[in-house]
Structure 1
Amino acid sequence: MGQGLNKEVTVSGGSIRVRNHAAKWLTEVFQPPVVVSIQLLISPLPEAGFPGTIGYGALAALFVCVVPLLVLLVLVRMGKVTDHHVSDRKQRAPVLLMALGCIAVGLLVLNAVDAPRSVTAMVLAVVGGVAVLAAVSPFWKMSGHAAAVSCAAVVLVLMLGPAWVPLLLLVPAVSWSRVVLRAHTPAQVVAGSLFGGMVMAGIWWLLQDLLVA
């Protein structure tokens, strides 16, 4: 009986390790800087010239994702921020404001190089999301992972067509990973998913009509 119990404990422990490993993998692979970078790279698609215009998307990703992430990693190294996912809710608003500053510079650069308006529309949709997350963060830790992947999935489906609907499965998968890792509550990932998929993607949709059409 004791051996049977030990076997059950071993199997249970192995299952937990597999679950946690899968959750960590999803969290790292689909972290906001990665997801938003992909989103920005294909943002020129609605206008003529793609893929020749993908460089403008890369330039946007530099200011929206790469530079803020590098600054964040430096802050983590200095001990000013807990980790690159900014797990401490109190630290999120200053980090997000730093990101907004980088994005503002990026918008000026994109305007100076006459980037496609579709790229600007995508960046402004991200600005809306970051601004709301920064405002909410002092009071509640809405999931940035869920918001980013939800927005990207919806935008890509709208941009590329119904064949890409399976991308929406990433939303519950990434949300699950954040809950398993105890980074967020179920309510926080649901709120993030709805915010990204409806509000951020909605901002992009409206701006596409205003700036590109």
Structure 2
Amino acid sequence: MNLAARVITELFQPTVTVALLLLFSPAVEPGFPGTAWFGAVAVLFVCVLPLAAVVLLVRLGKVTDHHVSDRRQRAPVLAMAAVSLLAGLCLLLAIDAPRSVIAMMLATVGGVAVLAVISLFWKISGHAGSIAFATAVAVLTLGAPWSPVLLLIPAVCWSRVVLRAHTVAQVVAGAVVGGGVTTLLWWLLLELTVRRA
């Protein structure tokens, strides 16, 4: 059971799920797949650079693991991720990236900010928040036939509880608060930028 939980936790960690969302984000506008490289630039700033920094911090002994399991270590790591996100956002705005990519980046910044604030006093689950966000976006973008991907939410939540990384309350809150806030932000931003352009 622990092996299955570890596999699920690694396969659907926030870096992976958010990277897939960012790569897919230009697809909702004309010009895709020619605009896919904008999604790749976003992945660099949202996922690759923050993960590389966390891996370096783990090797230096400043952070316990790449999931940043110790809540006390989360605030500075999330702040660093937010700086990288904002730098990427500025670059994407400067190179006139598709509005759908900007909407996805802004929603991610909002979600990270919410989780960062909560993490200051409680170990809310980023895994649950990111998988809830990713699956909700998949269903909202691709339609009802994609609804079975929503089953990934309880699977990821289960894996985090089995591994004793979070309590049931922390994964439920991560899915509801993290996933709900980020999805709502994404939808509102997409409505304001892409669909009304």
TM range (shorter): over 0.9
Runs of 4+ in structure 1 off by over 6 angstroms are none
Q: Distance in 1 between matches of 2:11 and 2:150?
A: 16
Q: 1:180 pairs with 153, 158, 162, which one?
A: 162
DSSP 3-state at the match of 2:107: helix
Deviation string 1:125-162 (CA, Å, 9 cap, x unpaired) is 10011001111112100000000000000011101111
Q: 1:199 pairs with 162, 181, 185, which one?
A: 181
Q: Distance in 2 between matches of 1:157 and 1:66?
A: 25
What percentage of residue pairs aligned between the two structures are identical?
Answer: 62
8 Å CA contact retained: 1:96, 1:134? yes
8 Å CA contact retained: 1:149, 1:196? no
Q: Distance in 1 between matches of 2:105 and 2:192?
A: 14
Question: Partner of 1:101 in structure 2?
Answer: 83
- In the TM superposition, residue 173 of structure 1 has moved relative to its aligned partner by 0.1
TM-score by length of 2: 0.97
Q: 2:37 pairs with 41, 55, 62, which one?
A: 55
8 Å CA contact retained: 2:114, 2:178? no
Question: Partner of 2:193 in structure 1?
Answer: 211
Does 2:132 correspond to 1:132? no
Any unmatched runs of 5+ in structure 2?
Answer: none
Question: Partner of 1:151 in structure 2?
Answer: 133
Q: 1:33 pairs with 4, 11, 15, which one?
A: 15
8 Å CA contact retained: 2:128, 2:179? no
Q: 1:167 pairs with 149, 156, 161, which one?
A: 149
Q: Distance in 2 between matches of 1:123 and 1:179?
A: 29
Amino acid aligned to 1:199: V
Any unmatched runs of 5+ in structure 1?
Answer: 1-18
Amino acid aligned to 2:178: G
Deviation string 1:69-103 (CA, Å, 9 cap, x unpaired) is 00110000000000000010000010000000001
8 Å CA contact retained: 1:171, 1:193? yes
* Alignment length (residue pairs): 195
Q: Distance in 2 between matches of 1:138 and 1:65?
A: 22
DSSP 3-state at the match of 1:25: helix
Amino acid aligned to 2:55: L
Question: Partner of 1:23 in structure 2?
Answer: 5
TM-score by length of 1: 0.90
Q: 1:46 pairs with 21, 28, 43, which one?
A: 28
Deviation string 1:42-68 (CA, Å, 9 cap, x unpaired) is 001111011111110111010000000
Q: 2:103 pairs with 106, 121, 125, which one?
A: 121
Larger Rg computed on CA atoms: 1
- In the TM superposition, residue 196 of structure 1 has moved relative to its aligned partner by 3.4
Alignment of 1:83-98 (within 5 A): 83-98=65-80
RMSD of aligned residue pairs (Cα, Å): 0.7
